[in-house]
Amino acid sequence: MSQSIESVLTEKRVFKPSREFSKQAKIKNFAEYKKLYDESIKNPEKFWGKQAAELLWNKKWTKVLDWKAPFAKWFVGGKLNVSENCLDRHLNGPRRNKAAIIWEGEPGEKRTLTYHQLHREVCIFANILKRNGVKKGDRVLIYLPHIPEAAIAMLACTRIGAIHTVVFGGFSAESIKDRLADSGATCVVTADGSYRRGQAVTLKQNVDRALEGNTAVKRVIVFRRANMDIHITEGRDVWWHREADYVTADCPPVPLDSEHPLFILYTSGSTGKPKGILHTTGGYLLGSLLTTKYVFDIREEDIYWCTADVGWITGHSYVVYGPLALGATSLMYEGAPNWPQSDRFWDIIARYGVNIFYTAPTAIRSFIKWGDEWPAKHDLSSLRLLGTVGEPINPEAWMWFYEKIGGGRCPISDTWWQTETGAHMITPIPGATPLKPGTATLPFFGIDAAIVDDNGKEVGPNEGGKLVIRKPWPSMLRTIYGDKARYKKQYWSEVKGCYFTGDGARRDKDGYFWIVGRIDDVLNVAGHRLGTAEVESALVAHEAVAEAAVVGRPDEIKGQGVVAFVTLKTGIKATEDLSEKLRKHVGAVIGPIAKPDEIRFAEALPKTRSGKIMRRLLKQIAAGNAVTGDTTTLEDFSVLAKLRASDE
């Protein structure tokens, strides 16, 4: 990591988009980007108002923005429906029989849904929801594998104004339980199971466990995916395919207020409890549509593939809503990149002729490790554009992606954004922006990004500071579900008048943003956000644990790994076996991605005199570095000495 930080600081290479690419791109040169960007910042409401014409409105809005900081209403008075925008509007023309979703299952099954077919499936499922008592405004929890039904269920919710909350299929029963409680969902959509690296995953069983003692959930709709034996609770659980026999494919979209809640997506914060990020209809759809259009520069005939799961915001905005609103073809692959072999992704690109490929730096670093021979076996010449998201990409990984996958001809859109921002915020515009390996480059249209010091003052070139956004934007979160106070405190109190991202960054002399990473107690493990407090509370819930402190340490593949310092209750022995048990325990409480890479047993944790755990010291120890900086507030110096000794 320290090596890649150095390489970021010394990075001088610049890659201009090729003339061939630019010629056919929507934004053809840097001057064009700059002009549009400047206009969008000078008068954002005019800009967004004009862009909103890209959407299909049932009733036009009367006011672009109603801003009572930090609460925004966009396109006030407007009415529209997301599923109508993503489906119906494409049916009266040549897109009707175009592939909307091309899907491949991990075991190898293949499905294509045209816009006509997808529309039909969505209408059927919307009617199934209605038949099962789901009404406008109700929350529906979706816990499905990465299969077309995930998109179908999401779109069906939007069709009738139900609010979906998707929970990633890799999360545990405990996580579902928390999200059910917080969202008050009354309906769960799940599958019997799914596949991961050839192993069947028991989704329905997790739902059953999450529902023990829950009385709010009236219905569980189960899709048959893996032919597993499952338990059906009479009166509560129904099969998707059986329900389909009772409904028609006729379901008109309901015109919804522009600010009608669209979905809640939970993400880790700096406290133990994940936050329900709330997005609404008009603004979110506009953000995902516009960025998909300009950042991926999708053409009518393209095959576009974003490798994210729909359980994350990337899957929401760039597998489902953005591409479908644009009428594009979105490819979905269910499984692991190294199943059955390490070239599954390259095989898929060659077989479908993928033109645009969007993935994560952590995946790229795995590909590098697996070896160049895997991509070399396949014809990747259909690729025109690449993208990355989730964490800073180190220049070495960028160069490998550019050369070995892009053949030196495909621009890379390194897109910085967050669950909260809904859509890309800092990103190259591929036909216009000269690229430098390791930077997300410049803000998207209408986005006023800046780097400020602790007093909110903008810092000079190459000075580090906090990354903030100074103006509201349409796809911004509206609140934390059920907790306006936390929304205000978390995002709008750190820097006066600005949205605080939680990231540290610097800008170079060309104004390019170099994201350093989170500066709060949030880790970024393999592109997934993980709160240290969440892992700590999972650990202390175990009967053997007295206290726990969790920190990140640099990891070659995952960006950050998880190290837990643990003190045990009196009389309990620190053993290998216990360490493995604790790792498994965290995996079971949160999900496999949260499993600590290492558990370090300690007699005590370093604390300040006021009793705060000194994470800075633990981070240095976890990374194997010397402990530097101020230790004068450390309560007991012998603790530090012991922690260091256990390191040697």
Contacts with ligand WT7, residue ranges (CB under 6 A): 267, 313-314, 389-392, 414-419, 440, 501-503, 515, 517-518, 524, 529
Residue 64 is assigned to a ligand binding site: no
Q: Is 540 known to sit in a ligand binding site?
A: yes
Tell me how far apart the alpha carbons of residues 466 and 393 are, in angstroms, rounded to a whole number: 19
Of the two residues 161 and 438, which places its CB atom closer to ligand WT7 in the complex?
A: 438
Say if residue 529 carries a ligand binding annotation.
yes
To ligand WT7, the closest distance from the beta carbon of 358 in angstroms equals 11
- CB 281 to ligand WT7: min, Å: 20
| 236 appears as a binding residue in the annotation | no
Q: For the CB of residue 467, give the shortest distance to ligand WT7 in the complex, in Å.
A: 8
Report in angstroms how near the CB of residue 233 gets to ligand WT7 at its nearest.
33
Annotated binding residue at 240? no
State which residue, 65 or 286, has the beta carbon closest to ligand WT7: 286
**Smallest separation, CB 318 to ligand WT7 (Å):** 9
Instruction: State the nearest-atom distance from the C-beta of 93 to ligand WT7, in Å.
Output: 32
Contact yes or no for 237/249 (Cβ under 8 A): no
- Establish whether the linkage from the previous residue to 70 is cis, with ω within 30° of 0: yes
User: What is the C-alpha to C-alpha distance for residues 41 and 542, in angstroms, rounded to an integer?
Assistant: 51
Pick between residue 337 and residue 531 the one whose CB is nearest to ligand WT7: 531
Contact between 129 and 160 under an 8 Å Cβ cutoff? The reply is yes
Tokens 């919804």 belong to residue: 256
240: helix, coil or strand?
helix
Largest CA distance in the chain: 75
Q: 167-205: b or e for each residue (b if 16 or more CB lie within 10 Å)? A: bbbbbbbbbbbbbbebbebbbbbbbbbbbbeeeebbbbb
- Identify whether the C-beta of residue 594 lies closer than 8 Å to the C-beta of residue 633: no
Q: Closest separation between CB of residue 389 and ligand WT7, Å?
A: 5
Phi, psi angle pair for 317, to nearest 5°: -80, -35
User: Which amino acid makes up residue 488?
Assistant: K
In the complex, minimum distance from the CB of residue 420 to ligand WT7, in angstroms, rounded to a whole number: 7
Beta bridge partners of 387: 358, 413
Return d(Cα 400, Cα 406) in angstroms, integer: 9
193 has binding-site annotation: no
Helix axes 30-42, 44-51, angle to 10 degrees: 110
Q: What is the DSSP string of 191-214?
A: ES-EEETTEEE-HHHHHHHHTTT-
Considering the complex, state which of residue 281 and residue 419 has its C-beta at the smaller distance from ligand WT7.
419
Is 596 assigned to a binding site?
no
Q: How far is the CB of 103 from ligand WT7 (least distance, A)?
A: 22
Q: Which is nearer to ligand WT7, 251 or 313 (CB)?
A: 313
CB of 261 or CB of 392, closer to ligand WT7 = 392
User: Is residue 44 marked as binding?
Assistant: no
**DSSP, res 635:** S
Of the two residues 368 and 516, which places its CB atom closer to ligand WT7 in the complex? 516
Residue 197 in marked binding region? yes
Q: Is 231 annotated as a binding residue?
A: no
- 196 is an annotated ligand-binding site residue: yes
409 labeled binding residue: no
Q: Is the CB of residue 640 less than 8 Å from the CB of residue 606?
A: yes
CB 282 within 8 A of CB 309: no
Q: Nearest 5°: phi and psi at 358? A: -120, 120
Angle, helices 637-647/615-622, rounded to nearest 10 degrees: 20
The pair of three-digit structure tokens given for residue 461, joined into one six-digit string: 């070139």
Supply the minimum distance, in Å, between the C-beta of residue 511 and ligand WT7. 16
DSSP 387-400: EEESSPPPHHHHHH
Q: Torsion angle, CA of 172/175/180/186, rounded to 10 degrees?
A: -20
Q: Which of residues 266 and 601 has its CB atom nearest to ligand WT7 in the complex?
A: 266
Rounded-to-10 torsion of CA 40, 46, 48, 54: -120
Could you tell me the two tokens for 65? 């923005």
Q: Is 508 annotated as a binding residue?
A: no
Q: HEC profile for 503-566?
A: EEEEECCCCCEEEEEECCCEEEECCEEEEHHHHHHHHHCCCCEEEEEEEEEEECCCEEEEEEEE
* Beta carbon nearer to ligand WT7, 43 or 462: 462
If the CB atoms of residues 417 and 565 are measured against ligand WT7, the closer one turns out to be: 417
| Position of minimal CB gap to ligand WT7 | 419
Binding site annotation covers 297?
no
Which is nearer to ligand WT7, 223 or 321 (by Cβ)?
Answer: 321
Structure tokens at 20: 């061939």
**Residue 594: closest CA among 567, 558, 621:** 558
Q: For residue 340, say if its preceding peptide bond is cis, omega within 30 degrees of 0.
A: yes
335 is in an annotated binding site: no
* Smallest separation (angstroms) from ligand WT7 to the CB of 370: 22
Nearer to ligand WT7, 84 or 391 (CB): 391
Q: What is the CA radius of gyration of the chain?
A: 24
Read off the tokens for 375: 């991509």
C-alpha span between 314 and 391 (Å, rounded):
13
Is residue 165 annotated as involved in ligand binding? no
417 is in an annotated binding site: yes
Taking the complex as a whole, the smallest distance from the CB of residue 441 to ligand WT7 amounts, in Å, to 10
542 marked ligand binding residue: yes
Least Cβ distance, residue 422 to ligand WT7 (angstroms): 9
Nearest to 11 by CA among 460, 312, 277, 398: 398
Q: Could you identify the residue written with the tokens 């925008």? A: 85
Paired tokens of 94? 């040549």
Identify which of residues 186 and 394 has a Cβ nearer to ligand WT7 in the complex. 394
* Nearest distance, CB of residue 277 and ligand WT7, angstroms: 8
Nearer to ligand WT7, 440 or 640 (CB): 440
Question: Do residues 166 and 316 make contact, with C-beta atoms less than 8 angstroms apart?
Answer: yes
Residues at the binding site are: 196-199, 314, 338, 390-392, 414-419, 503, 518, 529, 540, 542, 545
Residues at the binding site for CoA are: 196-199, 314, 338
Residues at the binding site for ATP are: 390-392, 414-419, 503, 518, 529
Residues at the binding site for Mg(2+) are: 540, 542, 545
